[in-house]
Amino acid sequence: METIKDLLGPTGPLSKAIDGFAPRPQQQEMAQVIADALDQGSQLIAEAGTGTGKTFAYLVPALLSGKKVIISTGTKNLQDQLFYRDLPMVRRALGVSASIALLKGRANYLCHYHLEKKQRDGRLALTQLDQLSKISHWLESTRRGDISELNVIPEDAPIWAQATSTTDNCLGTECPNVTDCFVLKARKAAQKADVLVINHHLFFADLALRDEGFGEILPGADAFIFDEAHQLADVAPQFFGINISSRQLLDIARDALNEVLQDAGDEGQIQHVTDRLQKAIKDFRLLFQGNERRAPWAELQKRTNVMSSLIHVNEQFVQLEILLKQHMERSAGIEKCWQRVLDVLNRLRFFLQSNDEHICEQDFGQSPQDLQQDQQQGQHQQHRASYIRWYEISKRGFILHLTPITIASTFHRYMNSRESAWIFTSATLAVGEGFDYFASNLGVEDAQCQRWDSPFDYRSQGLLYLPLNLPEPNTIHYTQAVVDAAIPVINACGGRAFLLVTSYRALNEAAQLLASAIGFPLLIQGQKPRTELLNQFRTLGNAVLIGTSSFWEGVDVKGDALSCVIIDKLPFAAPDDPILQARLKTIRDRGDSPFLSYQIPEAVISLKQGVGRLIRDGNDRGILMLCDPRLRTKPYGKIFMKNLPDMEVTTNIMDVESFMIETVA
């Protein structure tokens, strides 16, 4: 019988069936450790350096385990790659019959009911009418209804909001199109599959529903494998709190008007009620200062006009609730709108309360059994003040948030309630040699921890350049100094560079400075969708791409097109972020150092992600330029340096030029 090592070895089935497959000892060892965790139903935290081949390292044991396995990824793109490419390829190579399925959130599936409703409505601009026609034509051939299949319409196009459903406006079993529902078909396939591919957002959406006592989306599983697991602690809080957006509120007003006009046309007040509600929502937005901002809710509570305006919004929803309740028996659509209004009123009450200290986990999100157990154990106080209220505004609207400061206790409780294997993997989980930071953020207590270094030879493949004489990052001319130092490096590399920055302000300034200073194509985040920018970068072969957060991870450019990664400064989170402020206060209150126990580990993991963009293949060579002088001048700079790949280090631009001459030669 072949072992895991044999299967991934030089004469194994993967080597024979997959072009370009390269056996790696790290991959073989990792796969065996994962197989053992699956067999024992244990917990594993596994860091695998770039090039280890972690995807095959967990797919092989997952397919061979004979267990129900749920694989969760960080993005929908990676989810599609696993389902459409990697899983079928490995399954064929192994010759196994394990069934596989793909499941996304409902907003990713076309909704027959809402599409037909929008077609009847007809109140659309010419562009959207054309898009609606393409969607209708596609409906005739699609089996899954996954909107990513129709690539002629961008996934963020506004028309999709009209042709898909939400938890709020789905009619459920009362929908006239329920037998054709793509969401239900996908969920049924998920229930039957041996290996199910989801994403982190869907996992936590499901976990939040279970925590509230509602039916679950995902089936039970013998094992959970989380790829890109470093993202979990950031994704989870979005689903264990409350948010209210201006778009959500306006959608309810619009949908209520349409449903009543359609099924209760004799109601003469609905237009008046919804007009007043829409005006109240828009007036509330006008009271916010600025175009883009994130700040604590307490800042607005001090302003009497803001709170009065929110009370007025609440009053208008009360009037809409009264009207809808009178007619909800006339159609499922009206009843659903009434339920949505009740939910909004319930959410608004958290922002009408006087302060965060009165908000505790027991107000929402816990089952009656959890509440009774907490009360018996005297744990009521530990749930108090575990949430922060904050808001964000954009040019078009606002979102009010109530967010948990940590999800460790919730996640720990869920893990302990399931007799499953739990496997967390990523290229960036450890800080130094330890996994304490990652484990504590998720409440993971009993996991085996193991890491495998990258098989790449960074000493010969890369050079780390630390330019001298740059000012401190908080000085006004810092970005100018970074660009001045980067230009000789970009020229030495013949373009072919990523400039990764830590803020949009730096992105815009650097783009402006580089536009007239280099003779290479300049690609700037935000000008086009990320995928299109990356394709253009690969095709051009000598471009310089400037990006911020979304380009620090999940970007894979192999070969000569990328020969240089420049990072402007250490990626510490913005100190004015309201969630960060609350977390730091919590750490201080328990007597720990927020900088050492939270801010540095977070920045280390982010930096490792950015650095990982450079060497993506055994044949890649390139320059890593880290501009931040604190790497050399501050004591904590040593922590960051220890977490970088083992590369030659230089402060001399001539070494950079010599390295690139050797590379081209």
**DSSP string for residues in 438-459:** HHHHHT--S-EEEEE--SS-HH
Residue 369 has pLDDT above 70, yes or no: no
Strand partners, 242: 402
Residue 568 has pLDDT above 50, yes or no: yes
pLDDT at res. 239:
87
Residue 67 corresponds to which tokens in the numbers above? 């267990």
Euclidean distance between CA atoms 311 and 351, whole angstroms: 10
Q: Which residues contact 52 (CB under 8 A, 6 or more apart)?
A: 24, 26, 27, 30, 427, 452, 454, 455
Check if the beta carbon of residue 120 is closer than 8 Å to that of residue 163: no
Around Cβ 652, how many Cβ atoms within 10 Å? 12
H-helix or E-strand spanning residue 174: none
Q: Where are the domains of the chain?
A: 4-99+193-239+407-452, 106-181, 242-404, 458-664
Q: Which CATH class is domain 242-404?
A: mainly alpha
Quick: pLDDT tens for 229-246. Answer: 999 999 998 888 889 999
Average pLDDT over residues 541-554: 93
Q: Which CATH class is domain 4-99+193-239+407-452?
A: alpha beta
Average pLDDT over residues 424-450: 94
Q: Which residues contact 364 (CB under 8 A, 6 or more apart)?
A: 212, 242
User: Percent of the chain, pLDDT > 90?
Assistant: 71
Q: End-to-end CA distance of the chain, in Å?
A: 47
Q: What is the CATH number of domain 458-664?
A: 3.40.50.300
Check if 4-99+193-239+407-452 and 242-404 are the same fold.
Answer: no
Quick: pLDDT tens for 526-541. Answer: 898 888 899 999 999 9
**DSSP string for residues in 98-135:** --EEE---GGGBB-HHHHHHHHHH----HHHHHHHHHH
- pLDDT, greater one: 214 or 21: 21
Q: Which residues contact 650 (CB under 8 A, 6 or more apart)?
A: 463, 464, 465, 466, 656
Residue 269 has φ and ψ, to the nearest 5°, of: -100, -10
Strand partners, 199: 73
Mean pLDDT of the chain: 90
Q: Classify strands 387-393 and 293-296 as parallel, antiparallel or unpaired.
A: antiparallel
**DSSP string for residues in 546-579:** EE-GGGSSS----STT--EEEE-S--PPPTT-HH
pLDDT at res. 213:
45
pLDDT at res. 1:
64
Residue 96 has pLDDT above 80, yes or no: yes
Around Cβ 589, how many Cβ atoms within 10 Å? 9
Strands (E), 317-447: 387-393, 398-404, 421-426
Euclidean distance between CA atoms 254 and 168, whole angstroms: 13
Residue 364 has pLDDT above 60, yes or no: no
- Confidence category of residue 385, pLDDT binned at 50, 70, 90: very low
- Confidence category of residue 353, pLDDT binned at 50, 70, 90: confident
- Confidence category of residue 360, pLDDT binned at 50, 70, 90: low
Look up residue 433 and give its amino acid. E
Q: C-alpha distances in angstroms, 422 versus 43, 56, 414, 436?
A: 5, 17, 11, 16
Of the candidates 57, 25, 21, 51, the residue with the CA atom closest to the CA atom of residue 618: 51
Euclidean distance between CA atoms 245 and 391, whole angstroms: 10
Residue 99 has pLDDT above 70, yes or no: yes
Residue 86 has pLDDT above 70, yes or no: yes
pLDDT at res. 215:
52
Quick: pLDDT tens for 180-230. Answer: 999 999 999 999 999 999 999 999 988 887 655 445 678 889 999 999 999
Quick: pLDDT tens for 479-499. Answer: 999 999 999 999 999 999 999
Look up residue 634 and give its amino acid. K
Of the candidates 539, 572, 538, 560, the residue with the CA atom closest to the CA atom of residue 615: 560
